[in-house]
Structure 1
Amino acid sequence: MLLTNTEEIPGKKITAFYGVVSGSTVRAKHVGKDLMAGIKNIFGGELKGYTDLLQETRDEAINRMKSQAEQMGANAIVNVRFSTSSVAAGAAEIYVYGTAVTVE
């Protein structure tokens, strides 16, 4: 499955459009990681627990979007976009969407 944030894929021709596909997930770290992030926030630096949380969340949302596109018969998704929101303390939602297409 090809993914791109552009409207076209260089060297490929879009032969069919299937419509918008999306994937989302909400993830939270356990309270111990949240406590350690709070301490790290005082001294500065990367909040590794949250970085990992968001990467895992993005991967899951992308996989769900790709699965939806595959069920439609697509082999690519163009114009991919991400949206992130906080739904609760220590929990984040990632929403990803794009247009499912067939390319040759």
Structure 2
Amino acid sequence: MIVSNLELIFGKKIKKHLGLVQGSSVRAKHVGKDFFAGLKNLVGGELKAYTDLLQESREEATERMKQQAKSIGANAILNVRYSTSSIAAGAAEIYVYGTAVVLEEHV
């Protein structure tokens, strides 16, 4: 499955537009990690636990979007975008969306 933030793939023609596909993942912070992140804020630096948490969420949301696209017959998702929002205190959503298409195999 080709996943791209571009609107077109060089050398490939779009045979069919299948519409919007999306995936999301909502994650909450771990209390212990939150405590240590608070301490890290005092001295500065990367909050590695949060970086890892967001990376896992992006991967999970992307995989869900790819599964949705596959289920409707797509072989590519174009114009992919990510969004993050706070859902509740200590919880965030990663949302990814794009346009499912069928690209010609040989151009």
Normalised-by-shorter TM-score class: over 0.9
Q: Give the conservation status (yes or no) of the 8 Å contact 1:81–1:98.
A: yes
Mapping for residues 35-54 of structure 1, pairs under 5 Å: 35-54=35-54
Match of 1:9 in 2: 9
Per-residue displacement from partner, 1:5-57 (whole Å, max 9, x unpaired)?
Answer: 11101111110110000000101231000101110011100000100010000
- State the TM-score, normalized to the length of structure 1: 0.96
Residue aligned with 2:10, SS = coil
Mapping for residues 1-104 of structure 1, pairs under 5 Å: 1-104=1-104
Q: Give the conservation status (yes or no) of the 8 Å contact 1:86–1:92.
A: yes
The CA RMSD over aligned residues, in Å, is 0.8
User: What is the CA-CA distance between 1:98 and the residue it aligns to?
Assistant: 0.3
Amino acid paired to 2:6: T
Amino acid paired to 1:73: G
- State the TM-score, normalized to the length of structure 2: 0.94
Following superposition, which runs of at least 4 residues in structure 1 exceed 4 angstroms of deviation?
Answer: none
Q: Give the conservation status (yes or no) of the 8 Å contact 1:29–1:49.
A: no
User: What is the identity percentage for the equivalent residue pairs of Structure 1 and Structure 2?
Assistant: 69
Q: List gaps (5 residues or longer) in structure 2.
A: none
